[in-house]
Amino acid sequence: MTRYSLQVPAHVETMVSGENVRSYEWKTRDVSSSGAFFLTNGQLLENGTDIKVSIYLNSFSGAGSWVKMNGRVVRAESEGLGVCFDGQYQFVSNSVDIDMCNKLGSAYES
């Protein structure tokens, strides 16, 4: 699949011990129709970990939408994680707190 260099905020969730949800606020490095690479600031998950992903898609109007999907970690590197998506996705307007985008944007600008 063709990969596109796209650095946008991402909200990632995973189940820990069957009941506890662990959340991460990361940024994509690149995205394709079948997966993405997430820059994780040193936070890594094991290969095979199932995750829920919300990727922020900005618009020129300042409003934005999220695309939500499920995936699985297939590669861990020092910079982050490679994730394969399950092929099902949903577009949602303002699904996750938009303030997170501002925080992530400033954290990655430095």
Between the two ends of the chain, the Cα-to-Cα distance in Å is 31
Phi and psi at residue 48, to the nearest 5°:
90, -5
Q: How confident is the model at residue 8 (pLDDT cuts 50, 70, 90)?
A: very high
Domain spanning 4-109, CATH class? mainly beta
> Residue 107 gets which letter from DSSP?
H
What is the structure's pLDDT at 110?
37
pLDDT digits (tens, 9 = 90+) for 27-64: 999 999 999 999 999 999 999 999 999 999 875 556 67
pTM over 0.75: yes
Closest to 33 (Cα-Cα) out of 75, 74, 86, 78: 86
Asked if the model's pLDDT at residue 25 lies above 70, the reply is yes
